């Protein structure tokens, strides 16, 4: 039930970037989530650590990409934590 409710879509990531840096940084978000095509839900094992995110962001969009990439992984992290919290809160 909670799993789909708190999954940030690429559009959500792009909107957050637009707010933070004035650009959607769509290529950054696309690359960060590219492993989803072959790893599915486990795609966050690739590129979702701060070092990888910083490198990808910087190479694609410079400092705006760095901020967007770090915001991307932070958004994913907090959405996962919220799901865990709610799952435990409403456990039988």
- What is the tens place of the pLDDT at every residue in 2-41? 556 667 899 999 999 999 999 999 999 999 999 999 999 8
Local confidence band at 75 (pLDDT 50, 70, 90 cut-offs): very high
Indicate yes or no: pTM above 0.75. yes
Residue 8 zone, left/alpha/beta (φ > 0; ψ -120 to 50; rest): beta
* Alpha carbon distance 15, 76 (integer Å): 14
Local confidence band at 73 (pLDDT 50, 70, 90 cut-offs): very high
């Amino acid at each position: 039930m909670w799993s789909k409710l708190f999954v940030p879509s690429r559009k959500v990531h792009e909107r957050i970037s637009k707010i933070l840096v004035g650009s959607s940084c769509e290529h950054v978000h696309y690359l960060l989530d590219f492993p989803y095509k072959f790893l599915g839900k486990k795609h966050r094992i690739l590129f979702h650590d701060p070092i990888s995110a910083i490198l990808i962001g910087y190479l694609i969009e410079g400092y705006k990409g760095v901020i967007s990439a770090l915001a991307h992984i932070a958004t994913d992290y907090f959405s996962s934590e919220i799901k865990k919290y709610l799952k435990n809160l409403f456990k039988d």
